[in-house]
Structure 1
Amino acid sequence: MAIVSSDHHGPLINVGMWILLVPMGLCVLVKIYTKWEMVNRLQLDDFLLIFAMLAAVGQIVATSAQVEYGLGQNQTSLSYKQVEQFFLAQYVGQIMYILAIFIAKLVGLYFFLCLTAHDIRRRFVQGAMIFVGIWLFVSMFVVGLQCQTPKPWISESNHCINQRVFWVVFAVIDGLTQILVGLLPIYLLQGLNMHTSKKMFSMLSFSPNLITLSLIVLRLKYLYTSFHSQNYTWDSFNLALVTNIHASTSIIAASIPFTKLFIDSLVLSPHIVTDGTRGVVSSARPTQRGSVVSTPKPRRSPEDQVKWPGSNLIEHVTAVTSIKADSGWEELQEYNGSNRDKGSEERIVIRQTTSTTVTFT
């Protein structure tokens, strides 16, 4: 193992990256475990988060290779072969970085999609997901062909795109989409007539995404100082460090809103959060001004009520299904039976039958 010295700072990055890997892995595991405990299955957002984490791990491995081939050392002390391998590792790391941060955004946006029904809010979230997906592929394509083939990773070549312009545009789009993910819950959840503290907690659960804005700005600063440097392997040390911190922090921030505490705050009795029938926000939207979402249920004695063990997600987490008291158990059984006949995986499971009236202001 290399030793940190005055002319070799690279090993410091290895220490920092592996320290970040632990909380990142724990946050993802907690998110996956919470979902599994609630629905006994993994869903699309879980697989997206796992993929983003693997991309971040790939970036860590690529950065470790950069350290091996000269990151944090004076470029004049390296052979041509070492410099070429350094740029190859950086090239792979850039692709992994793009995958990690933008797939982490899709995790949050997919959850927002499940919170909305077929209305303008849902179309807005769908548009945001499409934009993020398109920019993800465009960015990977541009980085993949940033310099002349057959070795597009040799950024010292005179046949490269204007990387300074590209990474500035990239940082701007990254920042704007991160603000969107952090603030969109305010738009989606502000209409719910729920307890103020729970509403604020639900909205603020996505605010950690805004922490990465400072890292985006800091990374852009180090990009500018390293561009066209005559001693790039030395000057790009801070850039590599901040880039890895940014990717890991993005995944940690994307995992926080999916804790059990957050899911519980979204559960409105007798609503059940699912992701087969859409709409915590939209299905709870009044059809007329001042109208009531669900008709009041007759009061029941505590012994007649079924206890709700935490929040219960049905087969596909996310949307609200409201069951009226007068619809009858037979209607529910008929609904479940018809869904089974159709081969649908969507079923309603009642965990609580207490009465609640939800109104909007």
Structure 2
Amino acid sequence: MFSSESTHYITTNTQATGVGISTWFLMSVSMIMYLSRQAVKFVMLRKVQLDDYLMSAAMLLSLGLSLGYSFASEHGFGNEFVASGDRDSIQKAYYAADVLYIPSLCLVKLALVVFFNNIAVDERQKRIILCLGGFSTLSMLATLFAASFQCGTQRAWEVMTLHCFNQSAFWIAHGVLDMITDMSLILVSFMLVWNLHIPLARKAVVVGCFAPRVLVIAAAACRVAYLAPTSAHNNPTFALWKSAVCAEVQICLSISTACMPCIKPFFAGIEAGVWQADQLRRQGLSLDDLYNKGYVKKNTEGDSSERSESLPKSKG
């Protein structure tokens, strides 16, 4: 049996500290991306929409999931040897994380579905998008119910014991459904720009905002790969730490990639303005010339200046 002091070190047989560190790091990344999305979107639109509420709910659930894994790691989740008094605490925290994992992923997808529906102009596209949202919701409700009672109703939180149903088969099925819906979201982004009369480069930019969701699919596949061989016979309090970290990575990537389409226009505007100012200066205009022509404005400190929010396009 390891002492409480030894659990602070990361070794081959003691990964609890690593699970805790990765949990808090990934949760922080998700929070930064979420807050950036909300701030940029509110500045641009000055209103809160349905997809904002869905993303907020997903973020709250992901925080609960992270707290569950963090609590489990404090009791030795990820260590090969765990005190008998800590096993129940680990199982309860892991069970709570399992239950929160499913709706948090689904809510992120529904936020993207609402986003797609808002920008779609064709009625056939809107029907396809709504069907995808309906399928995601129904599959979430079915798998959430199954996950909630995977070990019966009396002691449903005993997920690392022998009286549960075939958990490997269940999580493989859930993972396949999850990956299918994520791939469908990427295909929807193709569908939205396919018939638009815009340059191919512009289409590629739109699709590129959603293509990084392939990383979410990869994380889901890794989670399933680590979960499939795990059973109550092979010390699940130690064997499941890899799948838990994969779940955290998946949630983080799901939230981050869903935030990218809203954050990108802000940075694209900054990049465009900087590029235009650079082009004007290449034409021989000094900083004072740009100021006199109204392209930039001086700040209160005198010598330094900042770019105007709306620079005219270069003719060169």
Deviations 1:66-111 (A, max 9, x none): 1122212224x421x3111111111100111112211111111111
Q: In structure 2, what is the equivalent of residue 61 of structure 1?
A: 67
Instruction: Give the stretch that moved more between structures: 94-103 or 150-159.
Output: 150-159
Trace 1:185-264 onto structure 2 (pairs within 5 A): 185-261=189-265
* Distance in 1 (alpha carbons) for counterparts of 2:196 and 2:268: 15
Displaced runs of 4 or more, over 6 A: 262-265
* Distance in 1 (alpha carbons) for counterparts of 2:179 and 2:223: 12
Deviations 1:234-279 (A, max 9, x none): 11121111111111111111111112528989xxxxxxxxxxxxxx
Amino acid at match of 1:4: Y
Conservation of the 8 A alpha-carbon contact between 1:229 and 1:235 = no
* Distance in 2 (alpha carbons) for counterparts of 1:264 and 1:189: 19
Amino acid at match of 2:41: K
Equivalent residue pairs, number: 265
Conservation of the 8 A alpha-carbon contact between 2:172 and 2:228 = no
**Distance apart, 1:202 and its partner CA:** 0.9
* Distance in 2 (alpha carbons) for counterparts of 1:217 and 1:5: 25
Conservation of the 8 A alpha-carbon contact between 2:160 and 2:237 = no
Does residue 24 (structure 1) correspond to residue 24 (structure 2)? The answer is no
SS of the residue 1:205 aligns to: helix
* Distance in 1 (alpha carbons) for counterparts of 2:233 and 2:45: 53
Q: Which of 49, 66, 79 in structure 2 is aligned with 1:73?
A: 79
Conservation of the 8 A alpha-carbon contact between 1:225 and 1:235 = no
Amino acid at match of 1:124: I
SS of the residue 2:154 aligns to: coil
Conservation of the 8 A alpha-carbon contact between 2:161 and 2:232 = no
Q: In structure 1, what is the equivalent of residue 48 of structure 2?
A: 42
Q: In structure 1, what is the equivalent of residue 94 of structure 2?
A: 90
Indicate how the Cα distance of structure 1 residues 93 and 102 shifts in structure 2: closer, same or farther if over 3 A, else same: same
* Distance in 2 (alpha carbons) for counterparts of 1:232 and 1:158: 11
* Distance in 2 (alpha carbons) for counterparts of 1:169 and 1:53: 24
Conservation of the 8 A alpha-carbon contact between 1:205 and 1:262 = no
Conservation of the 8 A alpha-carbon contact between 2:30 and 2:255 = yes
**Distance apart, 1:55 and its partner CA:** 1.2
Q: In structure 2, what is the equivalent of residue 136 of structure 1?
A: 140
Q: In structure 2, what is the equivalent of residue 294 of structure 1?
A: none
Q: Which of 178, 184, 190 in structure 1 is aligned with 2:182?
A: 178
**Structure 2: gaps of 5 or more residues:** 270-308, 311-316
* Distance in 2 (alpha carbons) for counterparts of 1:17 and 1:82: 19
SS of the residue 2:228 aligns to: helix
* Distance in 1 (alpha carbons) for counterparts of 2:68 and 2:38: 26
What TM-score results when the alignment is normalised by the length of structure 1? 0.69
Deviations 1:150-170 (A, max 9, x none): 211112444322211111110
Conservation of the 8 A alpha-carbon contact between 1:202 and 1:262 = no
Conservation of the 8 A alpha-carbon contact between 1:226 and 1:236 = yes
* Distance in 2 (alpha carbons) for counterparts of 1:243 and 1:260: 26
**Structure 1: gaps of 5 or more residues:** 266-308, 311-361
The alignment's C-alpha RMSD in Å is 2.1
